[in-house]
Copies of this chain bind each other. A is one copy, B any other.
Amino acid sequence: MDPAPEARPALTTLQALAALFDHALLRPDLTDDDIATGCRMAVGHGIAAVTVRPTDIELAARLLDGSSVVTASTAGFPHGASTTAVKIYEARDLVRRGAREIGLVLNTGKLLSRQFQHVEMEVLQAARACHESGARFKAILESCYLAADIKVIALKICKRCEADFVVTATGFGPSGWQPGDLPLMARVLRDVCLIEAAGAIETLDDALSAYSLGASRIGSSHTAAILDEWKARLAADSAAADSGGRFLK
């Protein structure tokens, strides 16, 4: 069995949780106005990153310029079924247009066909293309399609290729990920890749649970609502402490 995850420092401020968030602006029907609203929210809350569709990267880079929020985008999203040539071309093109983090969706069909060499060569090339140009590289697994043995092989590929982050899901698959996926990822990726929990984070409790299980990033399209809920909970805890109730630590 997986060892219990290491205890993580408790989150006690609004900023501590906000700094984990990667706000997802990836739905096909978002308009330019939606992208602008999302980027302004991200700057206002001081979150870690905003991930936009490739076609929005220049707009997002302009809106986030001068802030601490990282401009991120995706290659081969969401199916991961483009050829390696196209995925690498897309990753380079996005970096050239202003992306500082690129999430590449691994080729699920090739993983399930046990063509691991194909997958590893693709991840390696993408990681190199990003790192050579100073961008971070994120490997996105569509976990719902992968049995445990394939998951472990995919995670080891990500680790060998030195992905900065491994992401649990695209958010557009038939489901998110299993409860055991984060501990499994933490065990395999330990000390090499950080973990981003994405694809099924809709509430504050989802986010806090993912953090406690080892996620260093929370990818969600519900960022503002979750941070508002956290703010209210911190205020309630603080009021309870002032009136002699339990003290938040």
Q: Which residues of A contact B (CB under 8 A)?
A: 26, 28-33, 53-57, 77-83, 85-86, 89-90, 93-94, 97, 107-110, 112-113, 115, 142, 145, 172-173
Assembled-state Cα–Cα distance A41/B57 (Å): 42
> Is A28 in contact with B85, judged by CB distance below 8 angstroms?
no
Give 20 new A-B contacts, CB below 8 A, not counting A29-B112, A31-B109, A83-B97: A26-B79, A28-B81, A28-B108, A28-B173, A29-B109, A30-B109, A30-B112, A31-B112, A31-B113, A32-B115, A53-B79, A53-B109, A54-B81, A55-B107, A55-B109, A55-B110, A77-B79, A83-B94, A86-B86, A86-B93
Question: In the complex, what residues of B have CB within 8 A of residue A97's CB?
Answer: 83
Please judge, given known A-B contacts A33-B113, A90-B86, A113-B33, whether A55 and B28 are in contact too, CB under 8 Å: no
Question: Which residues does chain B contribute within 8 Å of A81, judged by CB atoms?
Answer: 26, 28, 53-56, 77
In the complex, chain B residues whose CB is within 8 Å of the CB of A30: 109, 112
Point out the residues of chain B lying under 8 angstroms from A77, CB to CB: 79, 81
> What residues on B are CB-neighbors of A85 within 8 Å?
93
Q: How far is the CA of A28 from the CA of B112 in the complex (A)?
A: 10
> Smallest Cβ distance from A247 to chain B, in angstroms?
45
Which residue of B29, B79, B113, B173 contacts A32 across the interface (Cβ within 8 Å)? B113
Q: Are B55 and A145 in contact (CB under 8 A)?
A: no
Give bound CA distance, A113 to B173, whole Å. 26
Assess whether B109 is in contact with A56, with CB atoms less than 8 Å apart: yes
The interface residues of chain B lying within 8 Å CB-to-CB of A145 are: 28-29
Nearest 10 pairs between A and B by C-beta? A53-B81, A32-B113, A31-B113, A29-B145, A28-B108, A28-B79, A86-B90, A54-B82, A31-B112, A55-B81
22 contacts between A and B (CB under 8 A): A26-B81, A28-B80, A28-B81, A28-B173, A29-B112, A30-B109, A31-B112, A32-B113, A53-B79, A53-B81, A54-B82, A54-B83, A55-B82, A55-B83, A55-B109, A78-B78, A78-B79, A82-B90, A83-B94, A85-B93, A86-B89, A86-B93
